[in-house]
Amino acid sequence: MARDVSMEKESMTSEALNAPVTAQRRVRDDLEDYIPKPYMSRALVAPDTSHPHGTRGHRHNNLTVLQQHCAFFDQDGDGIIYPWETYMGMRALGFNIVASVIMAIGIALAMSYPTQPNWFPSLLFPIYIHNVHRIKHGSDSGTYDTEGRYVAANLENIFSKYAKTKPEHLTLGEIWEMTEGNRDAFDPYGWWSGGILYILARDGEGFLSKEAVRRCYDGSLFEYCAKVQAGVHSKTT
């Protein structure tokens, strides 16, 4: 009986004595107390322990969570994102002209061709939302699976592993540590994407909250930030 208990404990442990990194980057073992089947890939919503049903009021429109993340930049809703639409989206989020141009060009060059419905590239560099699962970048946490669905357990693991200064919040240094822990070789876009999110959504104390990260995954963060920016502009004009 004692041996059975010992074996059960070993089978459930997430730390190995001869791998100190497993103790330094701990994972939560209580997620099922908050989220039903946290390990299951979810197609339409992005839950966490505080929001087990995803973002209240956010419409998924039968898009995957990854498609929802991208759909904000589809300014005319035709399922295709052109570089000028990415530029307008970045401006709506509050990025300046130079940064918006650079990001629009970089995103188009990196992501357009893999989403094309045929072998012939388009000089307009469109990104087809229908195929955005093909451009899921590396150096990430695996919160999106390869089909663009959302895995809640992997979002929670980001914060259990790397949020050392303040629970459920990341500093810029902790984001860098996370990137170092997950990065793939020759994947510069994946390396700096976390920094862009930090610039966009950090709070007044310089922290990036889990709620901001979660809402980035389903795109509702972009909608919120755009409304805030529109409110700021309306007050100053």
Q: Is residue 189 part of a domain?
A: yes
Whether residue 30 has pLDDT greater than 50 = yes
Give the pLDDT score at 190.
Answer: 57
Q: Is residue 24 part of a domain?
A: no
Q: How confident is the model at residue 132 (pLDDT cuts 50, 70, 90)?
A: very high
Give the pLDDT score at 186.
Answer: 43
Least confident of 98-107, 187-196, 209-218: 187-196
Mean pLDDT (whole number) for 113-119:
94
Cβ neighbours for 182, distance < 8 A, ≥ 6 positions apart = 139, 140, 141
Beta strands in the chain (DSSP E): 41-42, 80-81, 127-128, 150-151, 169-170, 208-209
Q: Is residue 7 part of a domain?
A: no
Domains in the chain: how many in total? 1
Q: Is residue 4 part of a domain?
A: no
Q: Is residue 3 part of a domain?
A: no
What is the token pair recorded at 168? 């459920």
Whether residue 4 has pLDDT greater than 60 = no
Q: Is residue 9 part of a domain?
A: no
Give the pLDDT score at 81.
Answer: 98
Mean pLDDT (whole number) for 60-76:
96
Whether residue 3 has pLDDT greater than 60 = no
What 8-state DSSP symbol labels residue 184? P
What is the token pair recorded at 34? 């908050």
Give the pLDDT score at 152.
Answer: 97
Q: Is residue 23 part of a domain?
A: no
Mean pLDDT (whole number) for 57-82:
96
List, for residues 45-61, the tens digit of each pLDDT value: 999 999 999 999 999 99
List, for residues 179-209, the tens digit of each pLDDT value: 888 765 445 555 567 778 999 999 999 999 9
Mean pLDDT of the chain: 89
Residue 25, Ramachandran bin (φ over 0: left; ψ between -120 and 50: alpha; else beta):
beta
List, for residues 136-192, the tens digit of each pLDDT value: 866 567 899 999 999 999 999 999 999 999 999 999 999 988 888 876 544 555 556
Q: Which domain holds residue 155?
A: 34-236
* Short-list 236, 63, 72, 43, CA closest to 150: 43
Cβ neighbours for 225, distance < 8 A, ≥ 6 positions apart = 93, 94, 200, 201
Q: Is residue 59 part of a domain?
A: yes
